[in-house]
Structure 1
């Protein structure tokens, strides 16, 4: 409902002609269904009518405007018509209030936006999430959310005061607004927390977008009372429908992933991971070779695999790899077989000390020969059967 209200308000932007405004609203209703009429009447009069009743009132108002205009020989404003209509014909509808659209727009903005940052607020985000989840269900698409907060923000407030904290919040909010896509919805969720809704975005892609945002924020500096500070953020990503189907659950899971990122040392983005594996995963210790794709002269790194599944592989490496990097991993299933080449995307990097990194890679089967998938499947099934004996 929130997005429909925004759409109704948008129909009024740069539109002083009531005929144009009415045509835009009728077109909006044609594209979005009868619920639109309830929003139109609620927006203009504050009355909450059921869709069928609202539609009847709306077209009677338009007809009434035409009749009055023809009688007087001049155009009558829509708001004047609405007032006369409810006074003369629909006296049973009490307590209506005619709202001038620009005044309503200001009231609407005050109720949906955060005063400090200008971003949407928590209430608006929760409504938007509910709507977009419904759309994703209807169209069988993905969406992802990023739960983000500023590292060590309390220390900034305690050391420099809340005014300085506000400067940091506004700067981070501005960077997020500049970096995210036009289709993304950004809200200040409370305190130093931000939530970003990414429609039509699978969570692996959301992780890459979030990681790029994190790096951009880290690269910027903020001057507070004459001293320069580098601000970092941590975040958690969860996706619909792969992780959760409800708004509250999705937010909780992204928040859980955020705290995982905090526990890993801050200044990082974590994907929510269910304890139960989506795919059969087994321990798999083999020497491996790792190489970036697209660089013919890139040196080959040596590592050791830890576990493997149809969906990905986890390995140890002496050097970190960038999240989002496309890499090729090669290893042998057994001593007699030829090396197997896997291609995928780095989605996880954890540090356990100098020259000691755990690297998680999702596999891109579209980029590999079908035989690679078949070989891994056979190996996993065989290992599983051996373990059951």
Structure 2
């Protein structure tokens, strides 16, 4: 009798799972092509961002495997403090002050461990105060307590450029600095800060291996009119659609960035103008169709394309050349890309 009851329960469980599968299939089948495309774009965007995080983290860790001549007890104490995600900034300051009183070289050791910086103790103390003030300022701007390591990286690497490749203490700090420093909050793609870094990096790489690449700059046609007539919330949705379409239309190795209000840039490594044109025209078609289906308006863009090293062999000149081509497209009537 007990065996029969167990079999009945198993059958009921199987029926329940089948019902769940059928319900899920029914929900998915009701999604239109646009919703499915949007979901795919979001997944692609997240995947690209995750790949960036993994690749950059591996690269940085490979570059800085040593922590210098600092005893293990000191290393442990410092890492425990900075990795305390819950500690408010005043508490962190108190702990550092206590440790600084006990050791004449505490602050110089701190920067050697965290950021691979070799500084005299007096300079290290001054730098600590500047970064702490920077962390307080960021906290006020964001309306939440800023992790000190994130503020430190933002200050010494992205603001003051004291070092080329700061050490990342742990995955938590790395992920937060990515989100705060190189990802555009409004669209989820990279921002101008990251674009500048990657453009220089791509020029160095292409020069070394004697390769070419293309830079594509564009902005949205009549975007101010869209904001004025439809509202800024509607405009924000259009920007997100553009970002999602970029991720969908271009390759995963292409770098898409928002470099201004409605201005975007795409770096296409190891790509000629002829091949870049194929991807760019595909993007324009997708954007025009998606915006019409989703929002009832056709969003068009005006842009320019330059190729390294044929059009320019230095980052500022390459950007200026491409930007001039963008304005040629706008002056010629918009909704077009200047390739030559």
TM-score, length-normalised on structure 2?
0.55
Q: Greater strand percent: which structure?
A: 1
The Cα of 1:214 is off from its aligned counterpart by 1.2
Provide closer, same or farther for how the CA distance between residues 204 and 12 of structure 1 changes in structure 2, counting only shifts above 3 A: closer
Q: Does residue 169 of structure 1 match 2:239?
A: yes
Q: 2:270 aligns with which of 181, 196, 200?
A: 200
The Cα of 1:9 is off from its aligned counterpart by 5.2
Q: Deviations over 1:169-195 (max 9, x none)?
A: 111111111111000001001111000
CA contact (8 A) 1:172 1:217 kept: yes
Please state whether the residue corresponding to 2:268 is helix, strand or coil.
Answer: strand
Provide closer, same or farther for how the CA distance between residues 129 and 152 of structure 1 changes in structure 2, counting only shifts above 3 A: same
Runs of 5+ in structure 2 lacking a partner? 1-49, 84-99, 115-148, 150-168
Q: Does residue 212 of structure 1 match 2:227?
A: no
Q: Who is 1:10 aligned against?
A: 54
Q: Who is 2:41 aligned against?
A: none
Matches of 1:8 and 1:155 in 2, distance apart? Answer: 35
Q: Which structure: larger Rg?
A: 1
CA contact (8 A) 1:168 1:222 kept: no
Q: 1:253 aligns with which of 297, 310, 321?
A: 321
Q: 1:348-359 to 2 correspondence within 5 Å?
A: none
Q: Who is 2:336 aligned against?
A: 268
Tell me: higher relative CO, structure 1 or 2? Use CA pairs within 8 A at least 6 residues apart: 2
Q: Who is 1:182 aligned against?
A: 252
**CA RMSD of superposed structures (Å):** 3.6
Provide closer, same or farther for how the CA distance between residues 223 and 208 of structure 1 changes in structure 2, counting only shifts above 3 A: closer
CA contact (8 A) 1:9 1:101 kept: no
Provide closer, same or farther for how the CA distance between residues 11 and 207 of structure 1 changes in structure 2, counting only shifts above 3 A: closer
Q: Who is 2:32 aligned against?
A: none
The Cα of 1:132 is off from its aligned counterpart by 0.7
Provide closer, same or farther for how the CA distance between residues 112 and 234 of structure 1 changes in structure 2, counting only shifts above 3 A: same
CA contact (8 A) 2:53 2:178 kept: no
Q: Does residue 143 of structure 1 match 2:217?
A: no
CA contact (8 A) 1:149 1:234 kept: yes
Matches of 1:147 and 1:122 in 2, distance apart? Answer: 12
The Cα of 1:93 is off from its aligned counterpart by 1.8
TM-score, length-normalised on structure 1?
0.49
Matches of 1:191 and 1:8 in 2, distance apart? Answer: 24
Please state whether the residue corresponding to 1:220 is helix, strand or coil.
Answer: helix
Matches of 1:253 and 1:233 in 2, distance apart? Answer: 18
Aligned residues: 219
